[in-house]
């Protein structure tokens, strides 16, 4: 690779890696995962950080925003789609700090972790998809 012309991965690059991770979900999770919006931003905004009581935006690489499927009832009327937020600069910072993990693998790990909140997965469920949890 010619590093003299290389750029840092963009928001679009992170989004593409996240989509690849979602496409790799096994049945029966593959279809319902498509209903969740994946949004990539540079960093979490101040309101998100305040709600989570996080001071350093580089500590938050991803966030699930919605009602987990295991907690929903017919009485829940969604006002917005379930979302997974990914934060590019925090992800890149973790990638740099680790130094030995491919970016696609890290993004996949974060995506699986956030979908675990959505689906209500156990650690065993997560380990079937993300081998970091074994």
28 upstream amide cis, omega within 30 of 0: yes
74's tokens: 């017919």
pLDDT tens figures, 23-33: 988 888 888 88
The residue whose two tokens read 């979900």 is 25
Return the pLDDT at 14: 98
CA angle 128/132/134 to nearest 5° reads 55
pLDDT tens figures, 41-99: 999 999 999 999 999 999 999 999 988 777 776 676 667 789 999 999 999 999 999 99
CA angle 30/61/45 to nearest 5° reads 110
**90 and 65 in contact (C-beta within 8 Å)?**
no
CATH of domain 11-66+79-129: 3.30.2010.20
């Amino acid at each position: 690779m010619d590093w003299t012309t290389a750029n840092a991965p963009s928001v679009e690059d992170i989004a593409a890696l996240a989509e690849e991770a979602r496409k790799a979900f096994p049945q029966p999770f593959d279809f319902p995962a498509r209903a969740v919006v994946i949004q990539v931003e540079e960093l979490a905004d101040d309101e998100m950080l305040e709600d989570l009581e996080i001071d350093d935006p580089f500590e938050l690489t991803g966030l699930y925003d919605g009602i987990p499927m295991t907690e929903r009832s017919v009485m829940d009327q969604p006002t917005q789609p379930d979302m997974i937020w990914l934060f590019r600069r925090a992800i890149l910072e973790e990638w740099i700090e680790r130094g030995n993990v491919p970016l696609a693998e890290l993004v996949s790990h974060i995506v699986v972790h956030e979908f675990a909140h959505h689906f209500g997965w156990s650690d065993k469920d997560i380990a079937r998809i993300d081998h970091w949890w074994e």
